[in-house]
Amino acid sequence: MIQAIGLTSNPRKEFPLAVDDVSFEAHSGHVTALLGAPGAGKSTALKLMLELQPGRGVAYFRGRPLHRIAHPSREVGVLLGDVPGHPARTVRGHLRMLCAAAGLPTRRADEVLEVVGLVSLCDARLRTLSRGMDRRLGLACALLSDPHTLVLDEPAHGLAVREGRWLHGIMRAHADQGGTVLFTTGDPKEAARTADRVLTLEQGRLVADQEVADFSRTRLRPRVAVRTPYAARLEALLTKEARTARRSVEIVPEGGNRLSVYGSTCAEIGEVAFRHGILVHQLADEIGDMGPMSQMPPVAVENDPVCAEGAPDSLHEAQGPLEAHWTAAEGPKGSAFVTVTEPRTALATDAALATDAALATDAALATDAALATDAALATDAALATDAALAAPPQDRPSEAGPLPPSPALPALPPPITVRSAPSPLRPLRYELRRAGGVGTAYVTAAAVLVTSALMAVALARIGHTPQPRLLAAWPRELPLPPAAIGAGLLGAFAFGDEFRHPALAADRGTVPRRLGLLVAKLLVAAATALLLAILAVGCDLEVLYLVYGPELISVPADWLPLGASWVGLVVGCAWAGVLAAGVFRSTSAGLAAVVAVPLLVVPLVQKLLEGSSVRSAIGFPMRLRELVLVQWPFGGERYLEAVARAIIQPVGGALLLSLTALLGAYLLTNLRGRVRG
Assign residue 118 the CATH number of its domain.
Answer: 3.40.50.300
How confident is the model over 132-153, as pLDDT tens digits?
999 999 999 999 989 999 999 9
Same domain for 669 and 552: yes
Residue 412 within any structural domain of the chain: no
Beta strand pairing call for 31-35 and 197-202: parallel
195 against 554, higher pLDDT: 195
CA 217 to chain centre: 34
In sequence order, which residues have a C-beta less than 8 Å from that of residue 323 and are 6 or more positions away? 282, 283, 284, 341, 343, 344
Same domain for 207 and 225: no
Rounded distance, CA 189 to CA 173, Å?
Answer: 20
Residue 407 within any structural domain of the chain: no
Same domain for 660 and 527: yes
Same domain for 281 and 347: yes
Query: Which pLDDT band, with edges at 50, 70 and 90, does 633 fall under?
Result: low
Which alpha helices (H) appear in 501-586, and where do they start and end?
515-548, 559-584
In this prediction, residues 49-62 reach a mean pLDDT of 90
Domain range for 504 is 425-676
Beta bridge partners of 211: 197
Residue 420 within any structural domain of the chain: no
Work out the widest C-alpha separation in the chain, in whole angstroms: 127
Which alpha helices (H) appear in 600-649, and where do they start and end?
602-608, 613-617, 620-628, 636-648
From 157, 186, 216, the end of a domain falls on 216
The verdict on pTM exceeding 0.85 is no
Rounded distance, CA 291 to CA 252, Å?
Answer: 13
Residue 510 within any structural domain of the chain: yes
Q: How many CA atoms lie within 13 A of 160 on its CB side?
A: 17
Same domain for 243 and 174: no
From 216, 244, 270, the end of a domain falls on 216
Asked which of 419-428, 469-478, 505-514 is least confident by mean pLDDT, the reply is: 505-514
pLDDT on residue 426:
78
Answer whether residue 331 shows pLDDT above 90: no
Phi-psi map region of 53: left, alpha, beta (phi>0 left; psi -120 to 50 alpha):
beta
pLDDT on residue 392:
41
How confident is the model over 184-219, as pLDDT tens digits?
999 898 999 899 999 999 999 999 999 998 898 778
CA nearest neighbour of 326 among 304, 348, 308, 345 = 304
Residue 303 within any structural domain of the chain: yes
Q: How many CB atoms lie within 10 A of CB 301?
A: 25
Query: Which pLDDT band, with edges at 50, 70 and 90, does 606 fall under?
Result: low
Same domain for 37 and 178: yes
Answer whether residue 357 shows pLDDT above 50: no
Q: What are phi and psi of 56, to 5 degrees?
A: -120, 165
511 against 377, higher pLDDT: 511
Same domain for 233 and 205: no
In this prediction, residues 241-258 reach a mean pLDDT of 87
How confident is the model over 311-320, as pLDDT tens digits?
333 333 333 3
How confident is the model over 524-535, as pLDDT tens digits?
999 999 999 999
Asked which of 59-73, 315-329, 357-371, 514-528 is least confident by mean pLDDT, the reply is: 315-329
Compute the mean pLDDT over every residue in the chain, rounded to the nearest whole number.
76
Residue 408 within any structural domain of the chain: no
Residue 410 within any structural domain of the chain: no
Tell me the C-alpha to C-alpha distance, in Å, between residue 63 and each of 54, 68, 215, 369.
21, 10, 28, 64
Same domain for 223 and 212: no
As a whole-number percent, the residues of the chain with pLDDT over 90 amount to 40
Query: Which pLDDT band, with edges at 50, 70 and 90, does 177 fall under?
Result: very high
Q: How many domains does the chain have?
A: 3
Phi-psi map region of 28: left, alpha, beta (phi>0 left; psi -120 to 50 alpha):
beta
CA nearest neighbour of 76 among 165, 177, 1 = 1
653 against 480, higher pLDDT: 480
Same domain for 312 and 202: no
Same domain for 161 and 38: yes
Same domain for 431 and 385: no
Residue 406 within any structural domain of the chain: no
Same domain for 559 and 651: yes
From 197, 216, 235, the end of a domain falls on 216
